[in-house]
Structure 1
Amino acid sequence: MSDLTVPGLVEAAAERFGDRVFLRVGDTTRTYAQTREATATMAAALAARGCRPGDRVAALLSNRIELVDLVLGCAWLGAVAVPLNTGLRGGSLRQVLNAARPQFLYAEAELAQYAIEAGHRGGVWRVGGEDVPCPGTAAAVPPAPVCPQDTAAVLFTSGTTGGSRGVRCPQAQFVHWGRNVSSALRLTADDVLFTCLPLFHTNALNMLAQAMTVGAGCVVTGRFSASRYWSQVADSGATVVYLLGAMVPMLLAQPPGPHDRAHRATRSLAPAAPGPLWEDFRERFGVTLVDGFGSTETNLVIGMTPEESRPGYMGTVRPGFSARVVDEALAPVTDGTPGELLVRSRQPYAFATGYLGDPEPAPGSWRRTGDRVVREPDGWFRFVDRVKDVIRRRGENISSSEVESVVRSHPAVDAAAVFPVSSELAEDEVMVAVVVREGCLLDPQDLARHCARDLPAFAVPRYVETFAALPLTETGKVRKAALRERGVTSRTWDRAAVTPPSAPSAAS
């Protein structure tokens, strides 16, 4: 069996770390040896219910042991797991089901009904039902003769800028994720990994592969709660935690409490965490933030280690990968010049094999990321924006993320999202959606003066509107497409309709 497959990873981990605890999810605790047995018997249970190699099994399951069993059992059998966002409903759920065309669906009862209403016509297994596939209900079967390039799972992108797309993730991609990230985070068998991110997301799924690579333990809980987060981390005994960038300011916005340092965590993989907050986060919580570039379609191409943590940067190119920055004509640009990031892998099948319905990219080919970055002369990469989120105004390119950073530094702002809206001219105008910090009042004109202090005039938002909460995906990303579609309303403050701000006020 190839060591670049999920069954190979599970078997090797069971052989090396047998009685060590691998996983805790809810009330279930499993050792590595028990995980191998559960995986082999889950595959047998799937086969007994008609599932065959190559079949797709969709899942609408929250962070529970059934989803782990399904993903590992499908990989062992040679079937394809399709974990779906549990927040999908109606047309969006219909779209992903039409793209995936699963033969089977494993879901919580209420979510199964949503899928049926959205058009699923295959087999349905409901959690708690009599005929659901479960580990231990059939004799273990040997792993199927899967290859590194065979699809192990289809993961759908978040769809923050449009419809979600199904990414074909090969068996080897998960193994490489485990090796690359465990190396960057300096993981060992003494570590305990903690996540509350959803298991339909590549970040949480790949944490399992990282643990298997080194023999660490991992703990999976439910939804993120900023107020309860550090007490959950303490209860888990975690030494490493997994965050998304938007969670970092949420945690810092919480009032100081006894759990801030009453835990064992020392480092966190936190992609897109705002650079100005890294030091505050480390001083308050004792946790070093580690960033990097990776996506559902790729791997950890760019990254850093805890000892070389550099706020505001993604890191340097990791072994086995290449990266370049290009202009709109895909020609390389000089260091220090913003452009789109292209990446390439020399690790076999470390990248996805394309999107559902699309041909497979040539091995070793350059992949476009849609991210606008800068490569510094010393080889460090800095994220600027998503290419689709760049705003063009008065002949200048404006980075929405840079404007958001300035807006968030206002003392009355808790969260912000910057996006383009149409103007009377053939260009964009800058609009910002703001969540006001509890107990504060926000004067939009004062916010404009605050922005004028640190931004060029063309980048200062023209439109400001306050929201109780920003529209988010299940993984915590702002749904800017929804904000752009909503656009300017009667509630929106327009800087052009009032006296332009003069010099920044001392109060701002």
Structure 2
Amino acid sequence: MNGMTIPDLVEAAAARHGERTFLTVDGTRRTYARTRTAAATMAGALAARGCRPGDRVAALLSNRVELVDLVLGCAWLGAVVVPLNTALHGRLLRHALDEARPRFLYVEEELAARVKETGYAGRVWVTGARQAPVPHTGKALDPHPSRPGDTAAVLFTSGTTGPSRGVRCPHAQFAWWGRNVADSLRLTSADTLYTCLPLFHTNALNALAQAMTVGASVVVDRRFSASRHWARAAETGATCVYVLGAMVPMLLAQPPGPGDRAHRVWRGLGPGTPGPLWETFRERFGVTLVDGFGSTETNLVIGSVPEDCRPGYMGTVRDGFEARVVDAGSACVPDGVPGELVVRTARAHAFATGYVGDPERPLGAWWRTGDRVVREADGWFRFVDRLKDCIRRRGENISSYEVETALRAHPDIAECAAFPVASELAEDEVMVAVVPRAGRSLEPAEVARHCAAELPGFAVPRFVDVVGQLPLTETGKVRKSVLRERGVSGATWDRHG
């Protein structure tokens, strides 16, 4: 399959778009032609240091040009890049290194001490203000003849519900991501994509593939800033943005101002945006958020387009993919009934081949997503909850997502999370953690009264924590495993107390 490896993407984009700007990151601007050269010379530099096709090269780097060069250089050489979450340290960093077993590790100077503490025995390269990066003085190599199904990267899942796992992502998976999301967002060569999401996760990495697919430009910032987001979008000339998790409510929690619409952005990728926030976001910022379902293991299986969105819905199944909603025994449930989403694809190598250490999944196998969804009779899919986040109380299944949607309707709540904790009756109780808007205060009893007006009685939270912030992943997802482990404390308000 021609055109379905990462070097194929790089070469085709360089041939078509040459001196057009592809990437702006960390103060560096790269044309498409210069990006091809950087990939080839990085591959040469890696080879000169003993790296060979199939070797795994881990990276503990923030959003900087060296990480982009490493991703593309490894793909060019036929090696496997393993970008690691820069927040990892101690036991969790050891876990990731033990899972991935890289031969080499490329790390920022400021993070090098963390690697030393793990006892990692492979070769370490350090980059930073006082350290030279892996030089691009190696001989420029021709691209390795990788196949579309060969592993290009090992990406770790977010670990929001348990230990993160390393996912084997083939070359063609990135090519399909680029095609599918570019089509869903209606991207063209006239677009500038702006992301502040980390390059060690699928979303930002695939923004690079989307740009290459259509010849667009992509601007990558180091981190998300709610107060500066729209100013940065304006400064970069962005026409499309990427928002995940808590980013939407955090942006809406900012004081309104003239910068809300002083930009060129008119659409963005915003998976999982609650329905009530979708219209508010569009009215305030002038940005239509396109929803969809995809994961590190899969692709854009379900999606919508800017001209056909339905608030609170992920969309419909895209060409080349299949989706079912099943019960615990894998039998399909009727439309309108919640169940687990399972997906598969007819697109060759559009999905991951499995997890590190597991056997390869056969092409066309069904993938259990762990998401609880509803399929409507007209084919639109609605997210209900993560199966592990579902709360079981008094014989009823309670969606933490729906509890959070009710909480967000409160004018003084900026962020929130609902999760189960054990009760005295060998079932779950509903607990919520809420963050007040800036300059506002929250009384737990008022939070419970608000929920009682919005939710059935069995779903009203028993426990309420008012907190300054929620534990988040680098992509803005709430770490509910941390909240569940913390549970009820002496400062927690108890509706039955």
- TM-score range normalised by the length of the shorter chain: over 0.9
Letter in 1 for 2:212: M
Aligned residue number for residue 272 of structure 1: 272
Residue aligning to 1:205:
205
TM-score by length of 2: 0.98
Aligned match of 2:134: 133
| Partner secondary structure for residue 378 of structure 1 | coil
> What SS is found at the alignment partner of 1:259?
helix
Q: Is the 8 A contact 1:49 1:133 kept in 2?
A: no
In the other structure, the counterpart of 1:83 is 83
Q: What is the distance in 1 between the residues matched to 2:444 and 2:24?
A: 47
Alignment partners' CA distance in 2, 1:222 and 1:450: 38
CA separation in 1, counterparts of 2:182 and 2:335?
A: 29
Rounded Cα–Cα distance in structure 1 between residues aligned with 2:437 and 2:138: 54
Q: 2:302 corresponds to which residue?
A: 302
Identity score, percent = 70
Paired residue for 2:474? 474
**Can you give the 5+ residue segments of structure 1 that lack an aligned partner in the other structure?**
498-508
**Offset at 1:116?**
1.7
Q: Give the aligned length.
A: 496
Does the CA contact (< 8 Å) of 1:423 and 1:429 recur in 2? Answer: yes
* Over 3 Å off, 4+ runs: 128-132
Q: Could you say which residue in structure 2 is the equivalent of 1:335?
A: 335
Q: CA deviation at 1:291?
A: 0.5
Aligned residue number for residue 440 of structure 2: 440
Question: Quick one: distance in 2 between partners of 1:152 and 1:113?
Answer: 28
Q: Which amino acid aligns with 1:456?
A: P
Offset of residue 438 of structure 1: 2.1
User: Which amino acid is 1:222 matched to?
Assistant: R
Q: In the alignment, what sits opposite 2:231? A: 231
Counterparts of 1:206 and 1:298, CA distance in 2: 12
Which residue does the alignment assign to 1:324?
324
**Is 1:31 the equivalent of 2:17?**
no
1:273 counterpart letter in structure 2: T
What is the distance in 2 between the residues matched to 1:192 and 1:134? 29
Shift of 1:130: 6.0
Deviation at 1:120, TM superposition (A): 1.2
Aligned to 2:396: 396
Structure 1 residue 274: Cα displacement: 1.5
Q: Cα RMSD between the aligned structures?
A: 1.1
Partners of 2:439 and 2:191 in 1: how far apart? 39
Q: SS where residue 368 of structure 1 aligns? A: strand
Q: Is the 8 A contact 2:10 2:36 kept in 1?
A: yes
Say if 1:2 and 1:147, in contact at 8 Å, map to a contact too.
no
Residue 40 of structure 2 is aligned to residue 11 of structure 1? no
1:367 matched to 2:367? The reply is yes
Letter in 1 for 2:492: T
In the alignment, the residues of structure 2 paired with residue 18 and residue 389 of structure 1 have an alpha-carbon distance, to the nearest angstrom, of 47
Please list the CA deviations of residues 30-88 of structure 1 after superposition, one character each: whole Å capped at 9, or x if unmatched.
Answer: 11111111111110010001111111111010000000000000001000000000000
- Whole-Å separation in 2 of the counterparts to 1:133 and 1:45: 7
| Contact kept? 1:245, 1:274, Cα under 8 Å | no
Contact 1:340-1:368 within 8 A present in 2 as well: yes
Partners of 1:62 and 1:441 in 2: how far apart? Answer: 35
Q: CA deviation at 1:138?
A: 1.8
Range 247-256 or range 203-212, more displaced? 247-256
Matches within 5 A, 1:139-154: 139-154=139-154
| Residue of structure 2 equivalent to 1:488 | 488
Matched AA of 1:469: Q
Over residues 277-328 of structure 1, what are the superposed CA-to-partner deviations in whole Å (9 max), with x where a residue is unaligned? 1111111111111000000000000000000011100000001000000011
Q: Per-residue deviation at 1:131? A: 6.3
**2:59 matches 1:59:** yes
Q: Which amino acid aligns with 1:61?
A: L
| Contact 1:414/1:435, CA 8 A, preserved across alignment | yes
Task: State the alpha-carbon separation in 1 of the partners of residues 320 and 49 from structure 2.
Answer: 41
1:248-286 CA distance string (max 9 Å, x none): 111111111221111111100011111111111111111
- Whole-angstrom distance in 1 between the partners of 2:420 and 2:238: 41
Aligned to 2:160: 160
Q: Quote how far apart the aligned CAs of 1:133 are.
A: 2.3
Distance 1:390 1:480, change over 3 A: same
What is the one-letter code of the residue matched to 2:341? Answer: L
Name the counterpart of 1:174.
174
- Separation (CA, whole Å) in 2 of partners of 1:226 and 1:192: 20
